[in-house]
Structure 1
């Protein structure tokens, strides 16, 4: 899979993030704030794909745990992204269990037309439409596929790191990502022709 915009941006900031985390572990509050600013936007996007409009609340719970346990983290900037994504995912699962309902997917804000045929599908989704719209498309995928795509495209994790977060074998995550991107390509094509609606595909709550 080619690297999407989120992945390229995350990798660019990994050294800065790693340095900030190391200082935060020594009690530097400004450094923790710097790490938060680097990690929070993609983390919130990931959570929007999981729990829809409840993402802010779940992110707040996740950051409380991250702040409490940051001293126990061991790793570099990329590892910190994976660690925070794992914490956020657990908080999202807890949230969904509490409400016992499917997450509310984000609604598309406008009609899309004349989308080019995607080559790197995930990157194309984020570069052609708004982040909000791209997340809404990914949220239509079966849950396992959506999470694999979100972790690699929004959080910027590589395949093995995404597999560790999901507790799956790398081969299974590669397969889920491949199937998800194929379906995402279909959604983009359907949107270009005005042929898909919110009811045409499963929500992220469907286990596949």
Structure 2
């Protein structure tokens, strides 16, 4: 089935077809959910979020025949696997340490140009860096909520917490982010013109 014929197909139909081995249905699930998984993995610090998403979907497709549930439950199932894969990767990297191949543009002993520095500050990484100062639980909630677009209930299931605990973590994270973002490095009033 091509893309034009799969648009508008109910989730239950796509799921049943994927469970019976239909390639178009598996491809539809991949196209629909992989970008969110990649975003979640990137937001949590995966070194290769695309590769991690592929591993997640391999696990999903291996166990898909036993899955029973709605689209919402499928998202929870999918992100539970993604969460465990990210945790495994981070745990493995913390044990082994990280080795990075030397690249001149990443050498901290030289100063970047003003243009490079501006581009770096405006990149996706700087946006995700806002989450870096948050405690791990709050960071997990924010990445799952904002990047992966999960509901409070789905996040609770993924993180094995109550919805109330997730709401509390989200509120504390938002308060901390608000304080960090709203700090003004400049005076609140425009500078008055200096006499000449």
TM-score, normalized by the shorter chain, greater than 0.5: yes
Q: Which runs of 5+ in 1 are unaligned?
A: 1-12, 113-129, 195-208
Residue in structure 2 matching 1:187, options 167, 171, 180? 180
Check whether the contact 1:152–1:162 (CA below 8 A) recurs between aligned residues: yes
Measured in 1, the distance between the counterparts of 2:182 and 2:43 equals: 20
Q: Establish whether residue 97 from structure 1 lines up as the match of residue 91 from structure 2.
A: yes
Residue-pair matches, total: 161
1:46 positional shift: 0.7
Check whether the contact 1:109–1:133 (CA below 8 A) recurs between aligned residues: no
Distance 1:193 1:18, change over 3 A: farther
Residue in structure 2 matching 1:62, options 46, 56, 78? 56
Distance 1:16 1:186, change over 3 A: farther
Distance 1:109 1:136, change over 3 A: farther
Which has more radius of gyration?
Answer: 2
Where do 1:105-124 residues align within 5 Å? 109-111=119-121
| Cα-to-partner distance string for 1:110-145 (whole Å, 9 max, x where unaligned) | 446xxxxxxxxxxxxxxxxx7554333223321100
Check whether the contact 1:14–1:77 (CA below 8 A) recurs between aligned residues: no
Show the counterpart of 1:21. Answer: 15
Higher relative contact order (CA 8 A, sep 6+): 1
1:26 positional shift: 1.9
TM-score normalised to structure 1 length: 0.66
Show the counterpart of 1:47. Answer: 41
Check whether the contact 2:46–2:86 (CA below 8 A) recurs between aligned residues: no
Root-mean-square deviation over aligned CA pairs: 2.9
